[in-house]
Amino acid sequence: MSDTPTADRASTLLILSLVIFNFISFISIGIPLAVLPGYVHESLAFSATVAGIVIGVQYLVTLLCRPLAGRLADELGARKTVMIGMLSCAASGVLLFIAAWLTAWPVASLVILLVSRVLLGFTQSLIGISAISWGLNTLGAAHTPRIISWNGIAAYGGVGVGAPLGVVLANTLGFWSLGALTLLLSLTGYYLASRKGPAPLNPGKRLPFGQVLWKVMPHGLSLALGTMGYGTLSAFIALYYAARGWDGAAWCLTAYACTFIGTRLLFPNLINRVGGYPVAIACLAVETLGLALLWAANTPTVTLVGAALTGCGLSLLYPALGVGVVSRVGGTNGSAGLSVFAMFFDLALGLAGAIMGVLATWAGLRSVFLAALLMAIGGLLIAWTLDRAQRRLEQAPPSR
């Protein structure tokens, strides 16, 4: 597609028409997020630990299904994979609806909720990668940064819309309405996907999982080390504020979200102009500064600035490193590569709370931001090494 304003608008509209599937899936993920723990703990009378397991099982399933999702998107095509994901989401909504009417039988309701969460995790893995794969195979690898960026905005935006919407529905109509809305949204997504033309496939040899993992590992490690900063901020900022007698911890998360989304919207073509690795290095440098402020802060204002810089730094890290992933594995295995890449993101968020929790118990809450800072520096060094290797490859004389 030629690089003209008209072509650019056309490609943006196409990306947005595909991002809608990710947006729908993340609204469905957000809908029960703020309500489900209370329902399990208070209405079903299970412990807070069980409530945490019900929430966490979805993310575990998403992590485990990432390789399968990438393989299906590469082999079946993104459109079919999106439709399968929407049907899985619909089934999750039906089970959520049924569980709401089984409050008198807590064990039965809990089991159905767990199955619903498993299906929702499967949905997230399928649709998350398929919406990206559909755009890549249609527009080409040159549009990788914009496609990943817009899907990231859809993910954060979907959860941001879904979570408060779920609270309003549960308070006005009842818990059953969460399942009903999830079913309605997923059937709408299925219909929209069925009306679109088939997604193109990239012919060629499919790499086994081990080879894809090996090729993607440096990029994934850099992403994971950088993502630990967000995992630490989201898990411990409230405790950090409380320990210091400050109010307004939620504003740090708001500042993070605003700079994260704002940076993506302000610099949609920066990666194409500058290159993925240089942008990744700059992102990790900005995040490092933000985490340094969080660690050294003596006032809420400085903490707020640190959170904002952390969001700004992490904003373009995923798409910047994602460009390198697609380049390393090739278009034929692009979905598989990006799925494995996303596993490192999932792992970082899953491990951040546990690792930093142990550190906070041992060395105090302030130490978690120092640890996240050191990890971000490690991610920066990996990105710098990848950039150096890429430059050497480009400067090497062509082989005969």
Over the stretch 170-210, which tens digit does the pLDDT of each residue have? 889 988 999 999 999 999 999 998 888 776 666 666 677 77
Q: What is the pLDDT of residue 89?
A: 94
Start and end residues for every CATH 1.20.1250.20 domain found in the chain: 5-195, 209-395
Tokens in use for 115?
Answer: 């199955």
Surface-to-core class of residue 239, CB atoms within 10 Å of its CB (0-12 exposed, 13-18 middle, 19+ buried): middle
Q: What is the pLDDT of residue 203?
A: 63
Q: How confident is the model at residue 284 (pLDDT cuts 50, 70, 90)?
A: very high
Nearest-angstrom CA–CA distance, 56 and 309:
28
Q: How confident is the model at residue 88 (pLDDT cuts 50, 70, 90)?
A: very high
The model's pTM is: 0.76
Q: What is the pLDDT of residue 91?
A: 95
Q: What is the pLDDT of residue 1?
A: 44
CATH of 5-195, one of 3.30.70.330, 3.40.1190.20, 3.40.50.10140, 1.20.1250.20: 1.20.1250.20
246: left (phi over 0), alpha (psi -120 to 50) or beta: beta
Q: CATH top-level class for 209-395?
A: mainly alpha
Q: How confident is the model at residue 2 (pLDDT cuts 50, 70, 90)?
A: very low
Cα 44 versus chain centre, distance? 30
- The residue with greater pLDDT, 11 or 118, is 118
Most confident of 22-36, 188-202, 279-293, 310-324: 279-293
Tokens in use for 342?
Answer: 């996303």
